[in-house]
Structure 1
């Protein structure tokens, strides 16, 4: 090789991923499975996904010869399941509750989501093969997925708690919606932005709800985490949540259709991207969590039932 394999592997490990367990049934009818983070969606029409499998894997013959396979996206409380299927444990399936999916592959209880797939294609790819699966059945629990980067696990919840506790200059914001519309407030420069409030030491989530109540005159029911980013120009950290607004007339601010916000009048690029992403994701009912800065980062998929 022209590059150091270990160094290359470490560089690949900088990419934050989810954690899955890929499953199938061997020619004796016994369940097999292994932990994998080389998973991605491919197509909605037809519904395709892929995983990568090393040619040296003891599951290689069984997986490449199977009629299909399952992908179980582990939830943030399933590190033990990930570890069990990553090691040469004699009975890996004793570590998890499972059943046969509609197409026959083992699917797990308590996961963020699972997919039961027919084998669509096996593509040679160097020292791996790419398994392309056509989704025959799936389930979406709404739980947050388990993350992995640089050899360690992480969860959005832990990242959120750490940031809330340690950031010196932290602003809480909200994508607040009601009846298909999003609330935007004046940014003081003739444009629009999301509602934000600076969090003082000792403040909790109630400071955001109180801020919206005092400024907009509406009750705010805070939901799930939606975006965590640093503005590198100001050094300010931002944590943005999805939320629902109560009924009543808005005192300050204005409602805009979620699918037609005034993006040209939103000067802050990070806020503009949040508003645009929310509009796109709301059409499918599947929302992610962004981690990064105002210019670049990554959206981590979070399964959520509409």
Structure 2
């Protein structure tokens, strides 16, 4: 029997009272199950952290000793138990180490996706489908009007821009994906990287994800017009709002983050509407619980065929 209260929000975040742990808690807790290392999911100060080795490596880079008092690291598809709940991490395809969290309790399988994508990405483990009775899915782009374009066609747009490019991207996950894609699909471009992104790239290297040619930013190099692409985090990108002699682009699945009407770069690390529907079809849930967005469209789409509950 599906338990409607198997997970529920409280002041600290999404809580499983049947085994006393939180999923991506928003405040420090005793037991934290961390799906991936982005700061809106992986907070500092937890006592016990359960996650993948890659996720914890990124957390240690960001938080140092504050990453957790104790860490319990598990490989993908290697079940372990907390209390009476069996936990299995399943690749989520969002970034290295990102995991769906499969929770099995009294014969019922609850699958928390965390953030995920189905699009191919050579800089992380590919998404894996798994059967579940309850799918607890992010719904960032759960809107029938949202269809992300082929990322390879998007990155090839850079080849048509002959001046230097200032390319805004989130430092962890997106920047590394862009470096690899530019090397593979716009190889005439030369890549410069902001100094704060370089330590993250080093962890990718240790994890076995090759990014290809790039070097740390040099003002002298950027002053030459040699088709440089300078990848910077959002705070730096915003500070160059009046930059001249460069084309400013921001890589994102969000329309409001595109800064040029004539040049856009829609590259998302989240599932769009079609991929969410595909995930539901492959997972085969009896119920869908939605998070991190608006699940109303899914509720209307499935009507009475599948019960949809909006957790947030």
TM-score normalised by structure 2 residue count: 0.29
More helix as a share of residues = 2
TM-score normalised by structure 1 residue count: 0.29
More strand as a share of residues = 1
